[in-house]
Structure 1
Amino acid sequence: MFSIDAPPELQNTEFCNYRSPLSTRYASKEMQYNFSDQKKFSTWRKMWIYLAKAEKELGLDITNDQIAELESAVHDIDFTSAAEHEKRVRHDVMAHVHTLAERCPRAAPIIHLGATSCYVGDNTDLIVLRDGLDLLLPRLAAVISRLSKFADEYKSLPILGFTHLQPAQLTTVGKRASLWLSDLLMDERALSRARNDLRFRGVKGTTGTQASFMQLFKGDGEKVKALDKRVAELAGFDKRYIVTGQTYSRKVDLEVVAAISGLGATVHKMCSDIRILASRKELEEPFEASQIGSSAMPYKRNPMRSERCCALARHLITLYANAANTHAVQWMERTLDDSANRRLTLAEAFLAADATLLTLLNICQGLVVYPKVIARHIDQELPFMATENIIMAMVQAGGDRQICHEKIRVLSHEAGAVVKQEGKDNDLIDRVKSDKYFAPIINQLDKILDASTFIGRAPEQVIEFLDEEVVPILQKYKDSLVLVEKPVSLMI
């Protein structure tokens, strides 16, 4: 039988309990608070206040003193008492109703009046989702801002392009970064859409019919409708779901998690690219002066931040299936098999996304480019890529295309054999220079081999993309960027 082998004096400390690394290592204090018990249960209390205020406005016998008493207790939560009540009644909402009633005896008769558990639970979840997205979006904008500066700075620096992970036509460092940016802009759009599409559940009753509130207001449907609208307004929502079951549709969760999961896919792709480029020593994430890359190999500069992003991003990607399956099995007006799953899935989606964006921002704030390594790699491949240009130059100098093509083909295969079989540098250009057939264009070879002539409109594309696509998005976040773009310090 398993036993705790730590000394008795340590067994009740936090270090003998499981603690999520999202809390202890990765996510921000702000996002942790957003999913904390304090935020959750103080929001429940706010929901009871909104309900009482709206019911009073619409004619129910609720006093200002009762509301004031509730307002004085929003953050004053006796968690010990709540836990004792829940152990006895086996119901988290009623446990907190009793706890609040003990704190607010004058208001006790009107707490939770006409409501069901999902009134506080679901409406609070929607507030938490809204606030979580309001934290993520400026962080994403900060990443986009920093990466856009990087793309602009290196928009004209040639670098090998890759298709099938094999060297292909040249691109530029900035153009490649613009591809990452393009995906991030789609994530901003998806997250913004999810944020703006959020509505409030409001007051709907046990199966969504508002029957209990119809009874409270003696069959006055217009007052019940007004109550629903007013509570939503007090909670900061201008729209509410007109029809719900006992819960708001878990399709809402799916839409939010889908946007976050999509961000995970973007980050994984981007940071995988960075890891590959780091292995080629062409680009590197920040590496601090005292940072250790390996306990056994002192020379190593491992891309640990990018690897962390990929690890967290994979988790984000998998959470989509959880949200989809939870929605799929919500029979009729609701089942409770969503509860435990949502406690994990929603919190982890936001906490992991928050940690991922913080790490990605740190990476983007310190990306290092090594132009000489990039140029050396270009030199190893460019002679092969320049063969078509050499043929065209020979034709313009009076040569026969077919004869020239055959000569270049033979010389290219010879040079390729030297590279692959002997491990030597590409000597195709030396072979061309040594062949008298190519004498008419020898003085043009430097121009023909100028890497900047192989990048097409890449620099112009970056400029157009930044001006037309990126700048308008960043304008949305101009007031918050100052706060979230400050240098990020991470725990490794």
Structure 2
Amino acid sequence: MIPRYESAELTAIFSDRNRMRLWRDIELAVVRALADTGGLDAAEVAPLFEREVIVDDDFVERVLAREAITNHDLAAFVDVLQASYTTAASRFIHFGLTSSDIVDTALSLQIVAAMELMLTAVDHLLVTLRTQSYQYRRTVMLGRTHGMAAEPTTFGAKLALWTLALDRERVRLVRARRQMAVGKLSGAVGTYSNITPALEARALASLGLDPAPSTQVIGRDRHSEVIMALASTAAMIESCALEIRHLARSEVMEVQEPFAPGQKGSSAMPHKRNPILAERLCGMARLARSFVVPALEDVSLWHERDISHSSVERMMFPDAFQLVYYMVTRFDRLIADLVVYDETMAKNVANTHGLIYSQSLLLAMVRSGLDRDVAYRIVQEATTQVLNDAGELGELLMKDERCPLSADQIEALTSLDRLLVNLDPLFDRLRALEGSQWISIS
């Protein structure tokens, strides 16, 4: 990932230094489990735990230099780790294990850590969205279908639906994290030929992981679920960002991205205040989706393993997490600081000249006994007049002798409050989510 979009925390999680620290921890966890269960002499391996081998930049450089000879990163790591001790007990490092035991288990730990960071950001965004949805609960605006004026909604209702959508994404992310909280220490083809299932469970428990039945590698369906959950979250944010872009257009101007002092929207036109962040989020979602296909293709490996997935995952996981984490955190800021022009929203509703009530008037005519198609044509003809600047829909129907509705009925039907009276259950859904699983943010 280029520095422009990087999170320092995620960069640290997927760094060579952290990866090798995890490799070290897994190797030592197995030795400790062997000693605790009598598989190795506890006194003999005790020196391995008396002094911690520091995995710093120098250690990483030594591993990389060794890898230039071995052409095998884990084998090079084991060589350097063993050489870092002055005790003969170092020969028990990597005892009964294969490379994927260490590499796959460490990758699980990295993904779990990255997912926890992601979920914290998602929870914060959920709180922001919910707060803003309550604030704009009664802010009436046009609902639009096919880009055309439909019936009214509220900006708060729009945000409430975004909140509920993100909560569904959270469920997917939590499930994906749970699927990845596993490791494997079952040896060359996963048959426990040198490490017992009980020992594997003991060592993995010390790392906070459960055992995963595996071949030589953990099944990549788990990994693909992570990528699909990230891509789905990105798509959800993209749908919201796209809506903000439409509402920010000059001829609509119902919302606007925050515009800081000194900011420039265009190098050529000083008046421009472009929705650059929303556009950026839409673009980044395209990249996030691009990882889904290689993640699914990684599921199919030769026999008990090959390493065609390895090169993909080295780039895919760091970049996918960086992309979506950036999207979540920046979308949080966008929603928190979004400029909402409620007066313009009201003006755009008024500018429909009553067209937003066409369905209510149609149904009332049908209820009065008029054939539906006849009623539809009466209302449609009146809407055509409205579109030709002939007046308000309700007033035109009052003058139409074919309309069976009284003036009082038409006036009652052309009421915003009546159209929006049933929105409360939507916000009740938000209240039901409060405190259920999200983090607590003051």
TM-score by length of 1: 0.80
Count of residue pairs brought into register by the alignment:
433
Unaligned residue ranges in structure 1 (runs of 5+): 1-19, 214-223, 419-425, 483-492
Q: Which of residues 122, 125, 129 is equivalent to 1:140? A: 122
2:254 corresponds to 1:272: no
* Alpha-carbon distance in 2 for matches of 1:401, 1:333: 66
Partner of 1:7: none
* Alpha-carbon distance in 1 for matches of 2:414, 2:342: 17
In the TM superposition, what are the counterparts of 1:442-457 in structure 2 within 5 Å? 449-457=414-422
* Alpha-carbon distance in 2 for matches of 1:467, 1:247: 43
Q: 1:82 to 1:443 in 2, by over 3 A?
A: same
Partner of 2:95: 113
* Alpha-carbon distance in 2 for matches of 1:395, 1:80: 80
Q: Which of residues 360, 374, 379 is equivalent to 2:350? A: 379
Residue 158 of structure 1 deviates from its aligned partner by 1.5
Residue 466 of structure 1 deviates from its aligned partner by 1.0
Give yes or no for contact 1:152–1:174 (8 Å, CA) kept in 2.
yes
2:260 corresponds to 1:288: yes
Q: What are the superposed Cα offsets for residues 401-457 of structure 1, whole Å, 9 maximum, x if unpaired? A: 999987765543233134xxxxxxx7336964995979x977887765443332241
Partner of 1:102: 83
Residue 275 of structure 1 deviates from its aligned partner by 0.9
Give yes or no for contact 1:393–1:441 (8 Å, CA) kept in 2.
no
2:235 corresponds to 1:253: no
Q: 1:388 to 1:76 in 2, by over 3 A?
A: closer
In the TM superposition, what are the counterparts of 1:319-330 in structure 2 within 5 Å? 319-328=291-300, 330=301
Give yes or no for contact 1:52–1:67 (8 Å, CA) kept in 2.
no
Residue 208 of structure 1 deviates from its aligned partner by 0.7
Q: Which of residues 61, 65, 77 is equivalent to 1:84? A: 65
Q: What are the superposed Cα offsets for residues 265-320 of structure 1, whole Å, 9 maximum, x if unpaired? A: 11111111111111121122222122211111211111111111111112112211
Q: 1:382 to 1:457 in 2, by over 3 A?
A: farther
Q: Which of residues 175, 178, 193 is equivalent to 1:211? A: 193
Residue 72 of structure 1 deviates from its aligned partner by 3.8
In the TM superposition, what are the counterparts of 1:15-164 in structure 2 within 5 Å? 20-21=1-2, 24-59=3-38, 60-61=40-41, 62-69=44-51, 71-75=52-56, 77-106=58-87, 107-164=89-146
In the TM superposition, what are the counterparts of 1:214-225 in structure 2 within 5 Å? 224-225=196-197
TM-score by length of 2: 0.89
* Alpha-carbon distance in 2 for matches of 1:402, 1:365: 47
Q: What are the superposed Cα offsets for residues 312-342 of structure 1, whole Å, 9 maximum, x if unpaired? A: 11211221111101112x1210111111011
Partner of 1:471: 434
* Alpha-carbon distance in 2 for matches of 1:186, 1:84: 46
Unaligned residue ranges in structure 2 (runs of 5+): none
Q: 1:122 to 1:409 in 2, by over 3 A?
A: closer
1:211 aligned counterpart, secondary structure: coil
2:216 aligned counterpart, secondary structure: coil
Give yes or no for contact 1:141–1:477 (8 Å, CA) kept in 2.
yes
RMSD over aligned Cα atoms:
2.9
Partner of 2:271: 299
Give yes or no for contact 1:42–1:77 (8 Å, CA) kept in 2.
no
Give yes or no for contact 1:258–1:320 (8 Å, CA) kept in 2.
yes
2:151 aligned counterpart, secondary structure: strand
Q: Which of residues 170, 193, 213 is equivalent to 2:152? A: 170
- State the one-letter code of the partner of 1:323: A
Q: 1:404 to 1:105 in 2, by over 3 A?
A: closer
1:160 aligned counterpart, secondary structure: strand
Calculate percent identity across the aligned residue pairs: 24
* Alpha-carbon distance in 2 for matches of 1:283, 1:348: 31
In the TM superposition, what are the counterparts of 1:375-454 in structure 2 within 5 Å? 375-387=346-358, 410-418=381-389, 427-428=391-392, 432=396, 449-454=414-419
2:329 corresponds to 1:355: no
* Alpha-carbon distance in 2 for matches of 1:76, 1:465: 50
Residue 101 of structure 1 deviates from its aligned partner by 2.4
Partner of 2:290: 318
* Alpha-carbon distance in 2 for matches of 1:441, 1:58: 89
- State the one-letter code of the partner of 1:454: L
Q: 1:407 to 1:95 in 2, by over 3 A?
A: closer
